[in-house]
Structure 1
C-alpha cells in the first residue's frame, strides 16, 4: 500500500523497517515479558498472532496466547484502514 501511493523506494523502506521491527521484537520479547507481558505482546504488533507467537508462548506462558492472538488480529484488521488515513495526512 505504501509502495503504491509513495513509490517503490518508500515501499522498500517500509518493508525493511517492518522487518527490523520484527527482529528487534523477537530479541526483546523474552526480556520484557517477565516484567510487563502486555507491553511485550505490543512489541510484536500484528505479528503477535503468528510470527512472534511461539516466542510469546514459550517465554510468557499459555495465558499470554489469547491476548497475543486478539491483539494481532485487531492490528491486522486495522492496518488497511489506518495506512491510507496516515498517508493522506503526510
Structure 2
C-alpha cells in the first residue's frame, strides 16, 4: 500500500516538474531547476536543457548531484528529531 502511494507521489511530482519547468525557467532559472529536485541531473535534464539552454545544464547536474548526496543524511537527521 505504501509503495503504491510513494510511486504515485513520485510520478505526480515529476509530472508537475515537467509542466512547471518550461513555464518558470525564463524568469527564474534556479527556481525551475529546483522543481526538478534530485532528478535535475538525469530525468528532468532534457527539459531543463531544451527550455533553459546549455548554460543551465551544469547548474542542474551539480544541484541534482548534491541533493542526491545529501538526501540520506538529511532524512536520517530529520527522523531522529
Q: Judge same fold: TM > 0.5, yes or no.
A: yes
Normalising by structure 1, we get a TM-score of 0.82
**Residue 67 (structure 2) pairs with residue 75 (structure 1):** yes
Q: Mark the structure with the bigger radius of gyration.
A: 1
Which segments of 5 or more consecutive residues in structure 1 lack a partner in the other structure? Answer: 1-7
Which whole-Å CA distance do the structure 2 matches of 1:51 and 1:24 have between them? 13
Which segments of 5 or more consecutive residues in structure 2 lack a partner in the other structure? Answer: none
Q: Kindly report the root-mean-square deviation, in angstroms, between the aligned alpha carbons of the 2 structures.
A: 1.4
SS at match of 2:27: coil
Normalising by structure 2, we get a TM-score of 0.90
Deviation (angstroms), 1:13: 3.0
1:50 maps to which residue?
42
Aligned residue pairs total 81
